[in-house]
């Protein structure tokens, strides 16, 4: 009878050993069999590349299939074994098929032998059953791993198929991802649809964090006090405009009506940043447009558009994913790099678009952050970066300054503060601020359709003065206001809408 069972077991062991999970058998010195199951552990890709992720997923799928096949095979064979064992236990009556006919006198010996064999088989069976349940567990963990990798792959695909997230309008006609040039047909749609990866793609929105729009706006309501009560009297001496040696520089005298360029498609674009680089470096140009939707718990995507026309149509050339989340919309693009505030920190990150790496990051010493000194509209606008004819600036506040605006001129290469100025303008009392020719200008309201540029602080003279240049918030929620010194324009993001204003300076 043992001869009958042995081939079955051998077959069983063989077939199991062929799949990825391996069952090994060894005889110890007492002639007892020991069985070992080995299942290769899933790959630990901490940051799998898309290709790697795909390969890993395919491997896992193959492994899964193999495991399933093996376990199914095991089940069948186990039940076969059971039948054989039962038959052995059930007595000789059914034993006709056995190859060794026994005489009645031998029966007692056989029965004893069979009892021993039965015990052995029982223990082997239970060990196989245990192994089987281990296999099932392994299978479950493989499936978990597969799920994890699938999610990762989706994220990667989302990065690679930015237009999916960029505009729902284009979702059914994905364009080539990453820098692939695309052609626009005569109907204004993409002439070529490349990968199908965008189809059934991931959701449009970043997952909501605790710091969603509602919370930010609620916070802004709590902190927005009437400006009139918060300004100390200005030190204006009426000295007039500063000593501005820079060509084309002067004092801000007029801001035009906003021109609307584009409305964001979804809530992620209620606030945002859009701008041109005033001093672009090749391969970027003065036409290149940069855009970031800044609502969400994980703001990392930066859209690049070839020009205004492509922005309006919603076709980005490329999407960059910065390595660390940013906070709010204080970011600027200057000389081929993005400067932004890292989430929940006072760290300024310089991200080089050409190498797609972080060139440098540095803490802005003493700066309040993450809701300590935001603009009146909230949105963790504690640290606002700005570009003007003089270069790169940070507009923020500190504990020492007790919430008044501090301005620092930054060295773009090192992010060191070259020089700083204290103003007496309460940061939380103004809606926004921007720099023009070394002078800080602040806007009184983010929601009033007819507000004003109400204060100026000239870093050349240290003179602060009140002013009243009309400024329109056409859409009722201005979250970003930034100056472009090359175009002499103000770029703004007003309640989902990308707008721009012409400006006039006194000596232009
Ligand atoms: C700004 O004010 C702070 C606190 O009063 C002071 O420590 C700092 O030296 C001032 N900075 C400048 C440039 O005046
Ligand atoms: C902002 O825009 C949304 C959608 O266009 C609109 O419903 C809302 O009233 C606007 N908010 C303000 C303050 O105007």
The string of pLDDT tens digits covering residues 33-88 is 544 444 444 444 444 455 665 666 677 677 667 767 766 766 776 677 667 656 66
Q: Are 407 and 464 in contact (CB under 8 A)?
A: no
Cα–Cα distance for residue pair 244/390, rounded to 1 Å = 10
Per-residue tokens: 336 = 């081929």
CB-CB contact of 317 with 310 (8 Å)? yes
Query: Which two three-digit tokens encode residue 422?
Result: 């204290």
- Rg over alpha carbons for the chain, rounded to the nearest Å, is 35
> With left for phi above 0 and alpha for psi between -120 and 50, is residue 212 left, alpha or beta?
beta
CA distance 274 to 272: 7
3-state class of 32 per DSSP?
Answer: coil
* Nearest residue to 325 (alpha-carbon basis) of 311, 345, 305, 306: 345
Question: What was the pLDDT predicted at 370?
Answer: 95
For ligand 1, atom 10, the nearest C-alpha belongs to 422
The three-point CA angle 367-373-376 to 5° equals 150
Q: What is the pLDDT of residues 221-252, one digit of tens each?
A: 444 333 333 333 333 333 344 444 677 899 99
Using a 6 Å cutoff on CB, does residue 424 contact ligand 1? no
Question: Has residue 147 been placed in a domain?
Answer: no
Distance, in Å, from the CA atom of 310 to the CA atom of 304, rounded to the nearest integer, reads: 10
Q: Which residues contact 318 (CB under 8 A, 6 or more apart)?
A: 162, 178, 179, 303, 304
Report yes or no: 205 and 211 within 8 Å, Cβ to Cβ.
no
The answer to whether position 287 is within a domain reads yes
Ligand 1 pocket, mutate which of 396, 401, 407, 460 (most atoms under 8 A from CB): 401
Global pTM exceeds 0.75:
no
Residues 507, 492: Cα–Cα separation, whole Å: 24
Pick the atom of ligand 2 nearest to 477's CA. Answer: 13
In whole angstroms, give the CA distance from residue 498 to residue 275.
9
Secondary structure of 134-170 as H, E, C letters: HHHHHHHHHHHHHHHHHHHHHHHHHHHCHHHHHCHHH
Answer yes or no: is 472 within a domain. yes
Between 182 and 102, name the one with better pLDDT: 102
- What is the band of 183 on the pLDDT scale with cuts at 50, 70, 90? very low
Q: Measured from the CA of 475, which atom of ligand 2 is nearest?
A: 14
Residue whose CA lies nearest to ligand 2 atom number 9: 476
In contact, 345 and 372? CB cutoff 8 Å: no
Cα(130)–Cα(74) distance, rounded to whole angstroms? 12
The pLDDT score that the predictor gives to residue 311 is 96
479 belongs to a structural domain: yes
Task: Give 287-340 pLDDT, tens digit per residue.
Answer: 999 999 999 999 999 999 999 999 999 999 999 999 999 999 999 999 999 999
**Running DSSP on this structure, what letter comes out for residue 233?**
P
pLDDT tens digits for range 423-468: 999 999 999 999 999 999 999 999 999 999 999 999 999 999 999 9
Q: What are phi and psi of 498, to 5 degrees?
A: -90, 120
Q: What DSSP state is assigned to residue 284? A: -
Decide if 402 is inside a domain. Answer: yes
Q: Give, rounded to a whole angstrom, the gap between the first and last alpha carbons of the chain.
A: 106
- Residue 51 domain-assigned (yes or no): no
For residues 17 and 65, is the Cβ–Cβ distance under 8 A? Answer: no
Q: Is residue 217 part of a domain?
A: yes
Instruction: Give the closest ligand to the alpha carbon of residue 448.
Output: 2
Dist CA 25 CA 200 (whole Å): 47
CB-count exposure of residue 79 (10 Å: 0-12, 13-18, 19+): exposed
> Which is higher by pLDDT, 424 or 2?
424
Under the phi-then-psi rule, with left for phi > 0, alpha for psi from -120 to 50, and beta for the rest, what region is 353? alpha
Q: Residue 401 is part of a domain; what is its CATH number?
A: 2.40.128.630
Which mutation among 400, 405, 427 tests ligand 1's pocket best, with the greatest number of atoms within 8 A of CB?
400
- CB 213 less than 6 A from any atom of ligand 2: no
Tell me which residue of 330, 324, 269 sits closest to 296, measured CA to CA. 269
Of 216, 212, 207, 172, the residue nearest 190 (C-alpha): 172
Q: Give the domain range for residue 377.
A: 213-505
* pLDDT at site 43: 45
Look at the chain and report how many structural domains it folds into: 1
Higher pLDDT, 143 or 329: 329
Q: Which residue has the least CA distance to atom 7 on ligand 2?
A: 495
The Cα-based distances of 405 to 364, 374, 428 in angstroms read 14, 10, 9
Assigned domain for 244 exists: yes
Q: Is 443 helix (H, G, I), strand (E, B) or coil?
A: strand
């Amino acid at each position: 009878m043992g001869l009958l069972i042995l081939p079955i077991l051998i077959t069983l062991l063989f077939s199991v050993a062929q799949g990825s999970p391996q069952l090994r058998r060894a005889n110890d010195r007492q002639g007892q069999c020991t069985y070992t199951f080995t299942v290769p552990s899933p790959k630990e890709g901490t940051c799998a590349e898309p290709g790697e992720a795909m390969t890993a997923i395919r491997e896992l799928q193959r492994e899964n299939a193999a495991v399933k096949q093996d376990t199914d095979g095991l089940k069948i064979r186990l039940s076969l074994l059971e039948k054989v064992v039962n038959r052995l236990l059930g007595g000789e009556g059914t034993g006709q098929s056995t190859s060794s006919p026994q005489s009645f006198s031998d029966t007692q010996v056989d029965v004893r032998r069979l009892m021993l064999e039965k015990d052995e088989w029982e223990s082997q069976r239970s060990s196989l059953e245990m192994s089987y349940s281990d296999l099932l567990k392994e299978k479950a963990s493989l499936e978990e791993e597969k799920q994890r990798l699938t999610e990762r792959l989706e994220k990667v695909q989302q990065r690679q198929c930015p237009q999916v997230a960029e505009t729902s309008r284009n979702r059914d006609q994905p364009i080539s991802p990453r820098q692939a040039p695309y052609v626009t047909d005569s109907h204004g749609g993409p002439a070529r649809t490349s990968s199908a990866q965008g189809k059934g793609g991931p959701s449009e929105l970043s997952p909501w964090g605790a710091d969603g729009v509602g919370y930010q706006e609620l916070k802004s309501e709590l902190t927005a006090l009437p400006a009139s009560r918060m300004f100390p009297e200005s030190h204006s001496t009426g000295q007039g405009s500063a000593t501005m040696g820079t060509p084309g520089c002067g004092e801000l005298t007029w801001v035009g009506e906003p021109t609307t360029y584009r409305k964001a498609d979804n809530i992620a674009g209620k606030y945002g940043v859009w701008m041109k680089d005033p001093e672009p470096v090749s391969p970027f140009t003065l036409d290149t447009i940069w855009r970031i939707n800044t609502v969400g718990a994980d703001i990392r995507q930066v859209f690049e558009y070839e020009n205004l026309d492509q922005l309006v149509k919603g076709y980005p050339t490329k999407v960059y994913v910065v390595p660390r989340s940013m906070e709010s919309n204080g970011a600027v693009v200057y000389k081929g790099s993005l400067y932004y505030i890292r989430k929940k920190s006072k760290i300024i990150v310089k991200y080089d678009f050409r190498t797609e790496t972080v060139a440098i990051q540095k803490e802005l010493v003493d700066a309040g952050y993450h809701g300590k000194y935001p603009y009146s509209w909230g949105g963790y606008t504690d640290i606002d970066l700005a570009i003007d004819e003089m270069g790169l600036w940070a507009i923020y506040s500190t504990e020492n300054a007790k919430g008044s605006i501090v301005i620092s001129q930054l060295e773009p290469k090192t992010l060191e503060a070259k020089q700083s100025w204290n103003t007496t303008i309460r940061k939380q009392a103004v809606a926004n601020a921007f720099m023009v020719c070394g002078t800080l200008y602040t806007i009184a309201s983010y929601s009033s359709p007819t507000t004003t540029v109400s204060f100026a602080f000239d870093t050349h003279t240290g003179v602060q003065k009140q002013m009243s240049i009309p400024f329109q918030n056409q859409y009722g929620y201005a979250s970003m206001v930034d100056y472009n010194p090359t175009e002499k324009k103000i770029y703004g993001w007003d309640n989902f809408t990308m707008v721009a204003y012409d400006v006039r300076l006194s000596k232009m």
